[in-house]
Amino acid sequence: MSFAADRAQAVVRPAHAAEAPAPPLTYVGIVTRAISFAVDAAVIQFVAIAVAGTFALILSVLSPPDKFDGVLLVVGSAAYGLWLVGYFVVFWSATGQTPGNRLFQIRVCRAVDGTAPSAGAALLRFGGLILAALPLFAGFLPILLDDRRRGAHDMIAGTVVVPAPPVEITSRR
Amino acid sequence: MGGSIGAAVVRPTVRRINRTAVATLDGLLASRLAGDVVERLAASPLAARAAHGALQGPLVEALAGDLVRYRVADRLLSEGLVEQTAARVLEGEELEHVVQAALESPTVERLIASAIESRLLDQAVVRLLESDDLWLIVDEVASSPAVTTAIAQQSAGFAEQVAGGVRARSRSADAWVEQRARRAFRRRPAPPPGPEAG
């Protein structure tokens, strides 16, 4: 087996593998990542709308007093924020893949060893994602210019986005 | 005493005459003449009239009665003759030829066409569609593991095909956009991609 192939296999090895995997060699570009993110956004919003609609129906029957409107707004916003952050942090830190990533066969991993980022790193990456989007998405421009196709949020969290093999291949290794 | 002597002389003579008569009859039956005679008789109006008269008369009823009385059908069935005959017919080429000829015949074609165009078929279809049993069968087939698995595989295969196409195009778009951006920012071209993970 060649050295390059060996390194490539190391990327797909599970995070709990005994040997430390080598850094990945190929990185995913901005278009694939943007479409993958759009898929995730669709999933997030679909679930959020479904849940919000259900609660709205329940509240329409219960008819709480108007003075609770502010509380409900805060609780709803907090729940949405928690769902949004939790979605990315849990998926990134658990497998390195959100459902959108899985669909496009890409995954987020640590730049140094190719393993899935920790929960802290995933949280940091999400924060970096928000920051990168604030200045008219300028934080994503480095993806086009960086040799490892990293955005500002990747640089902050020390992650890269790499192609991922189909699940059945990794599970047999 | 005289009677017994006479019998002793006459009996061998009678036996000899009988044997001679039988041998003569055998010879006659084996001869070409007998064959010609039988053929002529069979082809003659006399034979036709005889058969006609026999079928008009009580012979048929008598034969039918004897068939029942002597349990001819039961005996044939018990001896397996019917099964053997059926097996021979089904295995033989004759049935295939007969069916082939029937299917190719214009008469059968006309019969099938008239059957399809008849109201009977329409009524049968309507009654079939109205029957609960049909929908029970349809439900059973639709919910059978074989059908659901096949549909799932088809759907998964199609979804995977679409996703694969989108993936390939998005990867191409990655390279295209990056190339344009690097040119716009006067950066060196991107390094060639290394081997993909997996």
pTM (two decimals): 0.54
Kindly state the greatest CA–CA separation across chain B: 154
Count CB atoms within 10 A of the CB of residue A93.
19
Q: What mean pLDDT do residues B55-75 have?
A: 85
Element (DSSP H or E) covering residue B41: helix B32-43
pLDDT in tens, A106-161: 999 999 998 999 999 999 999 999 999 999 999 999 999 999 999 999 999 999 99
Amino acid at A14: P
SS3 call for A24 = coil
| Cβ separation A26–B177 shorter than 8 A | no
Integer Cα distance of A114 and A100 in angstroms: 19
CB contacts, 8 Å: A30 with chain B? 174, 177-178
pLDDT recorded at residue A45:
96
pLDDT band at A6 (very low <50, low <70, confident <90, very high): very low
Amino acid at A137: F
Q: Are A103 and B159 in contact (CB under 8 A)?
A: no
Q: What is the DSSP pairing of strand A159-163 with strand A106-110?
A: antiparallel
Count CB atoms within 10 A of the CB of residue A105.
22
pLDDT in tens, A55-101: 999 988 988 888 888 898 999 999 999 999 999 999 999 999 999 99
Report residue A86 as tokens. Answer: 């939790």
Lowest mean pLDDT among A12-26, A33-47, A101-115: A12-26
CB contacts, 8 Å: B173 with chain A? 29, 31-32
Residues in chain A: 173
ipTM of the complex: 0.72
Count CB atoms within 10 A of the CB of residue A99.
15
Which of A7, A37, A97, A105 to mutate to test binding with chain B, by most B CBs within 10 Å of its CB? A105
Report residue B100 as tokens. Answer: 């082939």
Q: Which residues, listed in sequence order, are joined to residue A159 by a DSSP beta bridge?
A: A110
Asked if B125 is an interface residue toward chain A (Cβ–Cβ < 8 A), one would say no
